[in-house]
Amino acid sequence: MSATDDAATGAEDAPLLDIEDAQTYYGESHVLQGVSLSVDRGETVALVGRNGVGKTTTLRTALQLTPPRTGTVRVGGVDVTGDPTHEVATRGLGWIPEDRRMFEQLTVDENVRVAVTDTDAVDAKRELAYEAFPDLRELRDRKTGNLSGGQQQMVAIARGLVGDNDLLLVDEPSEGLAPQIVEAVAEALRTVAEDAAMLLVEQNFPLAMDLADRFYLMDGGKIVHEDTTEGVTSDDEMIRRYLGT
Amino acid sequence: MIDAVAALGPAAPGTLAQVDAGTVVSVLVDGLSKAAIYVMIAAGLTLIFGLMGVLNFAHGSLTMLGAYAGGLVLVVAISSGSGALTRLAVFFAAVVAVFAALTAVGAALEVTLVRPLYDRPPLYQILLTFGLTLIFDEFARMVVEFYGLQPRSAWQEAVGTKPEFLAESNAYDVAGAPVVGLDLFEIVLGVVTVAAIWGFLTRTRYGLYIRAGSEDAEMAEALGINIRRAFTVVFGVGVGVAGAAGVLLAWDTAWGASVPLGAETLLPAFVVVIIGGLGTFRGTVLAALLVGMVDGLMTYVFNSGIVEFPGLPELTVFLTLVVMLIVRPQGLAGVEEVGGH
Amino acid sequence: MPPDEVTPADGDAAATAETPADGGGDDGGLSFDDDPWYRRYLRESSVHLVVILLFAAYPGVYAVLTHPSTPGNVEMVYLLPQVETMIVVLYFGLFAMSFDFISGYTGYLSFGHAAFFGVGAYFVVLTANGKVPLLASGTPFMISLLVAGVLAAVLALLIGSVSFRLSGVYFAMITLGVAQVLYVLFSNWGYVGENPRDGVAVGGSHLEGFDIGIPWIDQLNLTIGAFQGDTVQGLLGFLNFSTVEVSYYMLGVIVVLSYFTMQRIVHSPFGRVMIAIRENEERARAIGYDVFRYKMGAFAISGFFGAVAGALFAGYSRSVSPDGSFYFLVSGDALLAAIIGGFGTLGGALFGHLFHEFLREFLSKEGSGGGLLPYLRDVLSDSLLSTELYNGFTVGEFVETFLNGHAALYIGIVFVLFVLYVPNGIVGTARAYVGGTLAKQVPARFRRGGGDG
């Protein structure tokens, strides 16, 4: 694997996302104090921890929305540290953020269309989204600002679907939603996980364990534990300690 | 604008006792033509603020530069023997040329001067554009004086290049009221401008990017949209539209190409943009209609002697601004969050 | 901006925040507490005193340097600003400082600050013309100046009461809107004068000039005004002052007093809250300050001194026009001065305007106190001046077209360069260099240099 290969396309078997010792600051606030993690093709990885430990910041660091001061971020083997966010996004990273971040004055249809990166196939991609989420087809001309939280979450996930993304960075998808809606959201996430890897930040611990194959546990801006999700419950001593229930 | 009032003598007849269909038509046309001018001046400002959160103080000066540039094309290409069609053709050619040139200028300004300031508090972008105003105004004064023109008064030669049927002295009779052809011309151009920008924003992909970026630039970037390039494009186009508006003003006796045109258009542009709601194009259109009609109505009120205060239209416009900011600061169509980087 | 970060422009805030008692840590570790109070006061004010002395000496220095028998006097005439220009620097510098007081320290841009300048100027002139109810035409200038200031403060409170609820941009726009309303009003209101658009002059009912001093006590008053003013002869046996010079000193007294008032406020707990509001208003509110009250107070004070500046202007020129007082470019000039001098440094604004006036006079068209062209005419040979550069266009014509009378272009360029590369302005950058306010650091450095055991 030569350096030029790496720069151009990256190795085939490189992890989709590889963060190495990221130190990220908000101003003078040292939020990430050396975070290292990776996500491979096809897997769903959960990132859990208490409020404020730096989970969202980790996602933002991956996308270079808040680039790390030191450390590297590699997408598909290519070093993207410090690159403009839109370039990182077109490399196959999608973002389904906390608070959904709808373009409220735009319709559902427009929100989906704007997320399509393959500009030659906008209509086709949009159809794909409506097939995966039939409810959205009925809502297509409604301004997203007028939708319920659950409906907005569907739109956000649909945006992730149509963007030719290999890896989706999902932040607190179940936040503020009623239990039945959460189930619908989980189903939607399972659907998209068929075609894309996922790094999932989720406070709802059972949901996270259910959706993910592996998980990282974060505390104080660092990863303190990683394991498979097989058989892990919120009663486990380590989980109790770091999630503070 | 005070000159505007004086020059509108023939358009507003009668006293309070004679409010008839003719008066209504007259005030309506006057108001709508003013609205058209305001929307053309303010459109660029709104586009820029909507996407970038930058209040372009140099906006008026750029309109002024466009007026002189357009005036130059008009004066050079039109002779006294030119027919009406030729004059119109040259006019539209000037509009296109000035639009293209100023779009390029705007893009260059954004890349070289505005971009370095994105990481700083928004104050600095305002300061920068204010500094550009000083430079552009004085530069224009220099060039204009060099060629022997009076900087403070309208470039009469350019004003005189418009075809006969649009001349202010040539009024048509509509429902008993004299209607100036130029006013109708301005209204048509205003409608075309609004339609063009609206179409761009709602029917093109780039327009979609701009509307999304205006709401949430960060999210748009995360979806793969090159927001920095969009900034450059929007800044360029915003400036281009401002310049094109200037070309139109070069034909209007009440305005005309002059160095003070910069300040004279900047303030109304601000008023319109803020009353409409900072950053919303629909708001700007609504506000331009409101302010234009208020201006036209107050001009009539003054001309017909009901109130004898020459500054009435201007005063009312600014009072509308102050009242709007107190009562509904987000403007007619404003959304709460505006702009972003 | 994170609340813990401190920008160079408010080195004051950091210094005063860390060292509640003056003479603490930023003196370089030397203890001055055993000095008697007058020594300490003198040391702390040394930089200010030097600046004041320089300004006070200026008319004399100017007279000497431009005296026909002094060598190089011709160059000096062209280079140095006239005393008349320095008077403008004084009153407009005060206006610029009042602008910086609100905009630089709280972060709320007062784009309509010209409103206060206009209120001050028009009030003085209208009072003298007997057009202000309750005030006689003969009201002492000092009284009408104070009343104008109070009026402006009230206006500020009115504007603030509605606009401080909104964010910075809206505040700036409301103030601009109000100033424009006043501009249109005074440009068209027949009551103020024959031709309101052209302005108003002090008329026949008030032929004597305006006095600065203690009202009604003749001996403690001096009349200002370019032509009506007092002259002072034989002070200390040999000093004579013309009307212009007398005006210069009397205006200077008011400006110095105003400056020190504002400076004291800025370095007080009140000022610290103002700065906190600029840095992070939410946090200041969370800590428990009634930020609304502080903003109102600061705005009222800035309006007061803005009007004082306008009153001084009217007192000296004895006339006022809407374009020269209410127009938004007047606010623009204050903004210019504050940025070049240093936003949030108070004194910097005056120096910023000094630079502006210097450049303007240097590049002014012939006859206005100097000029590059007359200077070049004297220094360069005629043949060089008439050398053709291009197409019959001579060097002299080049200077005439591109330089003379076009100071505004170069000031604009300087301003843009400052915004891009020197955002802290002259004084702000100097403060960053010495690590605190000049008033504190310069004496400390001298002491450190000479006082080490």
CB-CB under 8 Å, A117 with B224: yes
Confidence grade of residue A204 (pLDDT, cut at 50, 70, 90): confident
pLDDT above 50: residue A125: yes
Confidence grade of residue C32 (pLDDT, cut at 50, 70, 90): low
In angstroms, how far is CA C428 from the centroid of its own chain? Answer: 16
Confidence grade of residue C162 (pLDDT, cut at 50, 70, 90): confident
* Contacts with C434 (C-beta within 8 Å, 6 or more apart), sequence order: C441, C442, C445
Structure tokens at A34: 């050396």
- A3-243: CATH superfamily: P-loop containing nucleotide triphosphate hydrolases (3.40.50.300)
Please tell me which residue, A13 or B291, carries the higher pLDDT value. Answer: B291
Residue linked to tokens 């630089």: C104
pLDDT above 80: residue C148: yes
Q: Which of B329, A215, B205, A89 is nearest to C168 (CA)?
A: B329
Average pLDDT, consecutive stretches of 10 residues, N- to C-terminus, chain B (341 residues): 42 53 85 92 90 88 93 86 84 94 94 87 86 92 85 81 77 76 89 93 91 91 92 93 90 85 88 87 93 90 81 86 84 58 25
CA distance B222 to B219: 5
Do residues A85 and B222 lie in contact, with contact meaning Cβ atoms separated by under 8 Å?
yes
> Considering only B71-80, C14-23, C138-147, which range has the smallest mean pLDDT?
C14-23
Given a contact as 3+ CB pairs under 8 Å, which chains touch B? A, C
Interface test with C, best of A25, A26, A28, A31 (most C CBs within 10 A): A28
- Burial class, A230, CB count within 10 angstroms (exposed 0-12 / middle 13-18 / buried 19+): exposed
Q: Please tell me the predicted confidence (pLDDT) of residue C384.
A: 67
Most confident listed range (B209-213, C147-151, C229-233): C147-151
Residue linked to tokens 């990166």: A117
Q: Does A29 touch chain C (CB under 8 A)?
A: yes
Q: Does A28 touch chain C (CB under 8 A)?
A: yes
Q: Does C1 touch chain A (CB under 8 A)?
A: yes
Structure tokens at B206: 């780039």
pLDDT above 50: residue A222: yes
Confidence grade of residue C21 (pLDDT, cut at 50, 70, 90): very low
* Contacts with B73 (C-beta within 8 Å, 6 or more apart), sequence order: B90, B93, B94, B97, B98
- Which value, to the nearest 10 degrees, does the dihedral of the CA atoms of residues A223, A227, A229, A230 take? -170
CB-CB under 8 Å, C173 with B274: yes
pLDDT above 80: residue C390: no
> Considering only B116-125, C16-25, C28-37, which range has the smallest mean pLDDT?
C16-25
pLDDT above 80: residue C388: no
CB-CB under 8 Å, B326 with C174: yes
Confidence grade of residue C382 (pLDDT, cut at 50, 70, 90): low
Q: Which residues of A2-15 are buried (b: 16+ CB within 10 A; e: fewer)?
A: eeeeeeeebeeebb
Confidence grade of residue C237 (pLDDT, cut at 50, 70, 90): low
Residue C105, SS3?
Answer: helix
* Bridge-based pairing state of the strands A93-96 and A167-171: parallel
Chain A residues close to C4, C-beta within 8 Å: 28
Q: Please tell me the predicted confidence (pLDDT) of residue C20.
A: 33
C59-99 pLDDT tens trace: 888 888 888 887 777 777 777 888 889 999 999 999 999 99
Query: In which element (H, E) is residue A150 found?
Result: helix A149-162
Confidence grade of residue C33 (pLDDT, cut at 50, 70, 90): low
To the nearest whole angstrom, how far is the Cα of B309 from the nearest Cα of chain C? 7
Most confident listed range (A68-82, B322-336, C1-15): A68-82
CA distance A163 to A129: 10
Structure tokens at C265: 């406020």
Q: Does B225 touch chain A (CB under 8 A)?
A: yes
CA distance A59 to A172: 11
C269-299 pLDDT tens trace: 999 999 999 988 889 999 999 999 999 999 9
Distances (CA, A) of C399 to C247, C366, C391, C407, C428: 34, 12, 15, 12, 33
To the nearest whole angstrom, how far is the Cα of A22 from the nearest Cα of chain C? 21
Structure tokens at A7: 């720069």
Given a contact as 3+ CB pairs under 8 Å, which chains touch C? A, B
Q: Does B231 touch chain A (CB under 8 A)?
A: no
CA distance C88 to A49: 64
Confidence grade of residue A10 (pLDDT, cut at 50, 70, 90): low
pLDDT above 90: residue C17: no
CB-CB under 8 Å, C185 with B270: no
CB-CB under 8 Å, C1 with A28: no
* Contacts with C244 (C-beta within 8 Å, 6 or more apart), sequence order: C83, C84, C87, C226, C229
In angstroms, how far is CA A140 from the centroid of its own chain? Answer: 24
CA distance B319 to C180: 9
CB-CB under 8 Å, C181 with B319: yes
For chain A, what is the total number of helices (H) and then of strands (E)?
10, 10
**CB-nearest partner of B314 from C184, C408, C415:** C184
A95-111 pLDDT tens trace: 999 888 999 989 999 99
CA distance A22 to A2: 24
Q: Please tell me the predicted confidence (pLDDT) of residue A245.
A: 52
C409-434 pLDDT tens trace: 888 999 999 999 998 899 999 888 88
Q: Does C169 touch chain B (CB under 8 A)?
A: yes
Q: Does C196 touch chain B (CB under 8 A)?
A: no
Q: Please tell me the predicted confidence (pLDDT) of residue B106.
A: 94
pLDDT above 80: residue C253: yes
**CB-nearest partner of C188 from B132, B309, B325:** B309
Domain spans, chain A: 3-243
Q: Please give the interface size between A and B, counted as residue pairs whose CB atoms are below 8 Å apart.
A: 65
> Mean per-residue pLDDT for C183-199?
87
Structure tokens at C217: 């006590």
CB-CB under 8 Å, A84 with B335: no
Q: Is A13 left (phi over 0), alpha (psi -120 to 50) or beta?
A: alpha
Q: Which of C326, C323, C319, C324 is nearest to C129 (CA)?
A: C319
To the nearest whole angstrom, how far is the Cα of B52 from the nearest Cα of chain A? 16
pLDDT above 60: residue C18: no
Q: Please tell me the predicted confidence (pLDDT) of residue C418.
A: 92
Structure tokens at A44: 């769903």
Q: All domains of chain C, ordered by start, with CATH?
A: 8-31+81-363+406-452 (1.10.3470)
Q: Please tell me the predicted confidence (pLDDT) of residue C2.
A: 38
Q: Which strands, in side-by-side order, build the sheet including A167-171?
A: A93-96, A167-171, A197-201, A44-48, A214-219, A222-228
pLDDT above 80: residue C208: no
Alpha helices in B78-159 (DSSP H): 84-109, 123-146, 156-159
| Closest chain B residue to A61, measured at CA | B222
